[in-house]
Structure 1
Amino acid sequence: MGDLLGVAVLGAGHMGADHIRRLDRVISGAGVAAVADPDAGRAEAAVAGLDEVSVHTDVAAALDAPGVEAVLIASPGPAHEEALFAAFARGLPVLCEKPMVPDSAGALRVVEAEARLGRRLAQIGFMRRYDAEYRRLKALLDSGRLGRPLMLHCTHRNVSSPPGFTSAMLIDSSVSHEIDAARWLLGQEPTAVTVLRPAPSSDAPEGLADPQFVLFETDGGALVDVEVFVNCGFGYEVRCEAVCEAGSARIGEEHTMVVTTRGSAREDVAQDYLVRFADAYDREVQAWVDATRRGRVTGPSAWDGYAASVVAEAGVEALHSGRRVAVEPAPRPELYPEAGR
């Protein structure tokens, strides 16, 4: 691919196809060298119009394809562990969409495998760290101008949930973003989780506990609450308010186009995470490409992926048991930085 970083994209579904478009049309310094998806027709459709891209149904074949120097994993979560190990075996740097691995045991296996290598290869796709508003909030909290953070109030709403979405997935899929964002913003680790369940919305599919109210305690004495509502019906909304000793700061009040007509005004509301966080995804992938070309790995680590899994599993246990559940992670290897760094 000449001077471009050749990327193998694993998965050509909704997320993978968007990353293929991004690498081809938005990101500088990289291009798509290979694509793998069990559905060859879907993979072919995702790369239509792109030159010199090989299409595969097998992950190993894509990683071994000519020109591949890095990997972007956008396949379903259960396929991530095998793909990460395959990339590690080849010494290929990886950007892996979250969840890194669906369960904490698998996530710990990934952490231990990377730690044995003695160097980081994986960056995990917690893209909120690259969102302009989240970055401004992080800088403000780090500056100390508002004093010690006491609470984070978070909102995570989706228009509707996809088929097969479970009550546990509200936590281990949706709230996993808030878990990572809270660890990063506060520089603190969650120590316990409690989940409260109001009466389900009438728009929630049968048997789905939606919405939920998730409360995290941290080792720095802060509280983090998350309202997660995945069938709100009216838009995709993500908000966060930090309440500190000397003030508060709120993000997520999307300042989109407002149309005013006789007797009314209408404001656009994002309907999809790829719309709300489009710029964050662009910055995330560009930062990964830039770092990879310099021989570095930055951004959220495999340990961050593991930490999110451990907290989410405690949350799922709290959901089902109705009890406060302690978070008990394994010891953190020296390879990985502490939360918030």
Structure 2
Amino acid sequence: MTDLRIGIVGVGAMGADHAERVARRTAGARLVAVSDPDTVRAEALATALPGDVRMIADPLELIADGEVDAVILASPGFAHAEQLFACLEHGKPVLCEKPLTMDAASALRVVEAEHKVGRSLIQVGFMRRFDPEYAALKELLASGELGRTLMLHNVHRNKSVAPTFRSEMIVRDSLVHEVDVARWLFDDEITRITVHAPKPTSLVADGVLDPQLAVFELANGAIADVEVFVNFQVGYEVRCEAVAERGSATIGLGSGVLTRAAGQWGGAMPADFRVRFERAYDIEVQRWVDAAVRGEIDGPSAWDGYAAAAVCEAGIESLTTGRPVDVDLADKRQILG
């Protein structure tokens, strides 16, 4: 069988990581092209990877290229809408890193455009669904062994982010993962969000609200809370505890090798998301490739990306006003039939 020929748009930290993944450890796939506004960086990456990887300066040219079968979008969110429409126009399966787009209105237009194409081409990069711990938690909760799930408690901490990372980006680029986790684990939509902000850490620029505490209310009456702290300084930490009628289950405790030496005990904390979720990314990309060959997707859909964008849009409003905000979500049946 011929390998799926993949082009990657955006080769910053995430895109470069995907490029290595596709080129070296994804079965049935071959990296054939990369694109980035920093053409020097893109050319250097293309040269360093095995095989004949081309650098194509214009991302739309990469998407249209006849030797590219499928596309990974790791470009900035503001570029996604145009690039997604191009993928749909050319019938290219696409794995789009979050956010789907920068706002709910444009995300909904993407959903509608894909529906007109007549088949699912867009998968959104909510990789936590592929993490073995999250997958095991989903299976446990779905089994009913613990009874009905009542609440989720989430922690999402980064060691640090760039000084340009603003308050609304914490919602749109970080909290968005827990938005998807809550929708996925409860298999229901978030109907209201409240985002609280305590006095911020002294390690951020004036006006940046970090950390943040969000509360989601779901249509089925469940509640989820999320602490997001993107300048935690210690390391990358993601945890989730599900509280159900007959017990609870927690993942992300980092129970790796525990050392005792020199009068101390402890273990290591990952430096960033690429370490903590390396296995999840590997599984995600492999399953996306396998599904693309079958003419399908195998993961979060364009609708999931739109729903997350709508929740985050309401979350940014709540962060600004200090009030709960209802999520304005389109009727899925009317959009998709």
Whether 1:302 and 2:267 are equivalent positions in the alignment is no
Change beyond 3 A, Cα 1:334–1:135: farther
Contact 1:303 1:336 in 2 (8 A): no
C-alpha distance in structure 1 between counterparts of 2:16 and 2:289, whole Å = 18
Q: Shift of the alpha carbon at 1:51?
A: 2.4
C-alpha distance in structure 1 between counterparts of 2:237 and 2:278, whole Å = 14
Change beyond 3 A, Cα 1:335–1:314: closer
- Letter of the aligned partner of 2:94 in structure 1? V
C-alpha distance in structure 2 between counterparts of 1:94 and 1:159, whole Å = 30
Q: Shift of the alpha carbon at 1:204?
A: 2.6
Q: Shift of the alpha carbon at 1:335?
A: 7.8
- Letter of the aligned partner of 1:47 in structure 2? A
Whether 1:185 and 2:164 are equivalent positions in the alignment is no
Q: TM-score, normalised by structure 1?
A: 0.95
Contact 2:156 2:238 in 1 (8 A): yes
C-alpha distance in structure 1 between counterparts of 2:221 and 2:79, whole Å = 36
Q: Deviations along 1:200-233, whole A, 9 cap, x unmatched?
A: 1122332211111100100011110001111110
C-alpha distance in structure 2 between counterparts of 1:197 and 1:235, whole Å = 21
- Letter of the aligned partner of 2:332 in structure 1? R
C-alpha distance in structure 1 between counterparts of 2:24 and 2:51, whole Å = 13
- Letter of the aligned partner of 1:260 in structure 2? R
Deviates more, 1:44-53 or 1:276-285: 44-53
Q: TM-score, normalised by structure 2?
A: 0.97
Whether 1:11 and 2:10 are equivalent positions in the alignment is yes
- Aligned to 1:47, what secondary structure does the other structure show? helix
Aligned residue runs from structure 1 range 167-246, under 5 A = 167-246=167-246
User: Match of 2:278?
Assistant: 278
C-alpha distance in structure 2 between counterparts of 1:15 and 1:286, whole Å = 16
User: Match of 1:20?
Assistant: 19
C-alpha distance in structure 2 between counterparts of 1:65 and 1:55, whole Å = 12
Cα RMSD after superposing both structures: 1.4
Q: Shift of the alpha carbon at 1:66?
A: 4.5
Deviates more, 1:243-252 or 1:50-59: 50-59
Q: Deviations along 1:255-300, whole A, 9 cap, x unmatched?
A: 2233321311231001100000000000000000011111212210
Q: Shift of the alpha carbon at 1:336?
A: 6.0
C-alpha distance in structure 1 between counterparts of 2:172 and 2:23, whole Å = 31
User: Match of 1:315?
Assistant: 315
C-alpha distance in structure 1 between counterparts of 2:295 and 2:19, whole Å = 22
- Aligned to 2:332, what secondary structure does the other structure show? coil
Q: Shift of the alpha carbon at 1:57?
A: 1.1
C-alpha distance in structure 1 between counterparts of 2:169 and 2:146, whole Å = 34
C-alpha distance in structure 1 between counterparts of 2:164 and 2:73, whole Å = 22
Q: Deviations along 1:316-340, whole A, 9 cap, x unmatched?
A: 1111101111111111157869xxx
C-alpha distance in structure 2 between counterparts of 1:180 and 1:8, whole Å = 26
User: Match of 2:122?
Assistant: 122
Structure 1: 4+ residue segments shifted above 3 A = 333-337
- Aligned to 2:298, what secondary structure does the other structure show? coil
Q: Which runs of no fewer than 5 residues in structure 1 stay unpaired?
A: none
C-alpha distance in structure 1 between counterparts of 2:67 and 2:35, whole Å = 14
Q: Deviations along 1:108-154, whole A, 9 cap, x unmatched?
A: 11011001112111000000000000000000110011111111000
Q: Deviations along 1:42-86, whole A, 9 cap, x unmatched?
A: 111222233222211102221233421111111111111111111
C-alpha distance in structure 1 between counterparts of 2:164 and 2:333, whole Å = 36
C-alpha distance in structure 2 between counterparts of 1:336 and 1:186, whole Å = 21
User: Match of 2:70?
Assistant: 70
Whether 1:164 and 2:164 are equivalent positions in the alignment is yes
- Aligned to 1:100, what secondary structure does the other structure show? coil
Q: Shift of the alpha carbon at 1:188?
A: 1.5
Q: Shift of the alpha carbon at 1:178?
A: 0.2
- Aligned to 1:31, what secondary structure does the other structure show? strand
C-alpha distance in structure 1 between counterparts of 2:273 and 2:34, whole Å = 23
Contact 2:6 2:68 in 1 (8 A): yes
C-alpha distance in structure 1 between counterparts of 2:333 and 2:38, whole Å = 38
- Letter of the aligned partner of 2:61 in structure 1? A
C-alpha distance in structure 2 between counterparts of 1:18 and 1:334, whole Å = 38
C-alpha distance in structure 1 between counterparts of 2:65 and 2:172, whole Å = 33
User: Match of 2:131?
Assistant: 131
How many corresponding residue pairs? 336
Aligned residue runs from structure 1 range 322-333, under 5 A = 322-333=322-333
- The structure in which a higher percent of residues are helix is 2
Q: Shift of the alpha carbon at 1:163?
A: 2.5
- Aligned to 2:47, what secondary structure does the other structure show? coil
